[in-house]
Structure formats: structure tokens, C-alpha cells
Structure 1
């Protein structure tokens, strides 16, 4: 199952708060419909019925069933902002053993 670093959880919480996401909403990760092999991240008010729900101490993360295997051994972390005015991004890294 995908795991999150504390930094990633903090960033997800921050984005959800600024977007005024309703209770029960979260960040959804799914396979990209336009970029083969890519992933899409979006804030959603609730998980899809087949989503894997990663419940943490903050905003939950929903993983599309089609992407779950691809993300199973990965960690979601934040990437440094490219410029001082930009928001940090997210990066997936392998779990350390």
C-alpha cells in the first residue's frame, strides 16, 4: 500500500484546507487518461467505491484500484518548489527496506 511521509501529509492537508474540501474528501491518485503510464492527482469530495483509502492523521488519500498495484511499494513525498514563489510538488520514491 502507498505510504505518505509527514511532509506529504502536511502538503495534502494544506492543499485540502485551501481548497475548502468538505469533510470526508481527500486527494485522489488515479492513472492518467491522457498520458500512458502517468498518474493524475485531484482533490475529490469522496472516494470512488473501488478506491483504496489511505487513512492517516489528516486528509485521506484515495488510490484508484487500477493504480494501486503501481503504487504499492512507493512512498508519496514532497518535492522542493522549483522557485521560491511556487508550491512544492509531489514525488513518488521506492520504500526503503
Structure 2
């Protein structure tokens, strides 16, 4: 299952805490051909039907079905830059 680094969990918590739906909201990852990496990250007020919910350190990430399967062996990391937060995926060790 997808795991989150401490930086990613902090970033997700911070982003979600600024929404009116902070109690149920999370970062949603879905597959898309529009992204060069094949995934789109959006803020979602709640999980969509069929989403897998990953919750680590009070950070919630919703994975649509295809993304959940493809990211099963990955870790989500985040880096704060001048432009905002940059998320990246890597293989779990």
C-alpha cells in the first residue's frame, strides 16, 4: 500500500486544514493521461466511491482504483518550494 513520508503527511495535513471540509477532506490521486507522470493530485472534500483511503499521521490520501493498484509499492514524498508544495513518488525500500 502507498505510504507517506513525514514531509508528505505534514504537507497534506497543512493543505487539508485550510479547507472548510477539513474533517473529511484529503488529497486524491488518480491516473490521468494529462500528467507526464500519469497521475493527477487534487484536493477532495471526501473520498469518491471505490477509493482506497490511506491515512498516516492524521493525513488522508484517497486513491482511485487504478492508482491504488499502481502505487501499491510506492512512497509519497513532498518538498516545499518557493512555488508551493511539490509531491514526488518513489519505490518503497
Q: 1:37 offset after TM fit, Å?
A: 5.8
1:53 matched to 2:53: yes
Across the aligned residues of Structure 1 and Structure 2, the Cα RMSD in angstroms comes to: 1.8
| Structure 1 residues 92 and 36, CA gap change in structure 2 (3 angstroms) | closer
Structure 1 gaps, min length 5: none
Query: Which stretches of structure 1, 4 residues or longer, exceed 2 Å deviation after superposition?
Result: 18-22, 33-37
> What is the correspondence of 1:60-79 to structure 2 with a 5 Å cutoff?
60-79=60-79
Report the structure number with the largest CA radius of gyration.
Answer: 1
Residue 24 of structure 1 is matched in structure 2 by: 24
Structure 2 gaps, min length 5: none
Aligned residues: 93
Higher-strand-fraction structure:
2
Where 1:8 maps in the other structure, the secondary structure is helix
Q: In structure 2, which of residues 85, 88, 92 is the aligned counterpart of residue 91 of structure 1?
A: 88
- The one-character-per-residue Cα deviations of 1:23-47 (angstroms, maximum 9, x if unpaired) are 1111110011534761011111111
Normalization by structure 1: what TM-score?
Answer: 0.84
